[in-house]
Structure 1
C-alpha cells in the first residue's frame, strides 16, 4: 500500500471513530507522520496505532492525537502549551491550528531531534525547551490551551494555574496503566469544570530532566 493510500485509509478510520473537526482532519492528513516515527517503523507510520520512540516514549495513536487536539477546540489565534514534545508529531499538528506553540520535553536528546524536524518543516511558530513539564512555562503564560501527552498522576493544578479564564486543558490523569482523558475548562470566575472524555494509555509525567 502506498503512503497516499495508507493516509486516506487512516483519515477515513478517524472519521468513523468520531473525529469530526474538519480542520484537525485536514492537518493530520497533510502532516507527514512518517517523518516522526523511528526508521524501523516507517512502514507503519500511517497505521492507527501508537509506536515506540527512544527513551521508552511513544508517538501516540493518531485517533488519540485527533481526539485530544479536537477537544482543545482551537480556532487559530491561541497560544498553546504542550507538555511532552516527544517525537514532535503532536507539536506539528498544533502548530498548524494555533498562533504559537510552547512545548516542553524532559529528554534533551529527544528534544534535539524534534527541534531539527521543526526547522526542516519550517514550523516557525514553535518555541521549545528542555525542562520539567510538571512546572509548566510560567513566564510565557497564561495560555489559551494546554495539552499533556503524558499522564499526570493527579489533577495538574500547577498547569491549570497557567490557563487563561475561558481556556481549556486536556490531559490523561491517573496512576495506573489506563488513565482517564480529562478536559478542564477555566470559567471566567476561575472555577474549573471537569469533563471525562475516554480511557487512554500514556507514559507517566515524570519530574526533572534527563540527558
Structure 2
C-alpha cells in the first residue's frame, strides 16, 4: 500500500520565499497548501493556493478545512509598513499579521500536526536581534516570533510537535526592494555580509526543508540564522 503523501501548510506561500519553500518540498513529494491574500499565477506542481486573510480566524479555518494530518506548518506571511509602524494602529496591524496569525494557525492546526508528529517553522528575522528606526513594528513582531517559537517548542512537545524558526538576513525579495535600490545602503549592507552576497529565496527554502525533515527530528526551540553571517559581523 503506497504511503500517504506528506502535507505542508504555508501561510504567505503564494509568492516569494513562501513559494520557494513550497516548490522545494513539493519536488520532494509533498502536497503543499499555500494560504494568503496573494499568489503568483504559476505555482509549482504539487502546490495549491487558498485565498484567505490569515488574521481572520474563520477565513483561515475555511481555507485549511479538513481532517487530513499536517506534517508541517510554515508561517511565512508577513507585512512591513516601514516608518508608518510608529503609529499605534499600524503597529498593531503588523503584529496581527506577523505574530498573532502565526499563533492562530498553529493552534487551529495543532490536532492535525499532532496526528503526524509534525513540525512548525516560524519566520523570525535579523531584526529579531537589532533595533531599527525604520520599522519598529516589524522588529517587535520578529522578536516576539522568537519567544513564541520557544514557547511552542515547550508547550507542543507533549503532542510530538517540534517548533523552530528561521531568521533570514538580507534576501533578494520584493520586501527588500527599497534597500536594494538605495546604492549607499546597499554598499554598506554588502560590506557587512561575510559571505559577500545577499541571500536568495532558495537559501531560506533549503533551511526550512531541513527543519521540517526527519533530519531535524531532535531539534526544537531553535532559531536558525540564514543571513550569510550578517548577525555576527
TM-score interval for Structure 1 and Structure 2 normalised by the shorter chain: 0.3 to 0.5
Relative to its length, the structure with more strand (as a share) is 1
Q: Which has the larger radius of gyration?
A: 2
TM-score computed with the length of structure 2 as normaliser:
0.39
Relative to its length, the structure with more helix (as a share) is 2
TM-score computed with the length of structure 1 as normaliser:
0.43
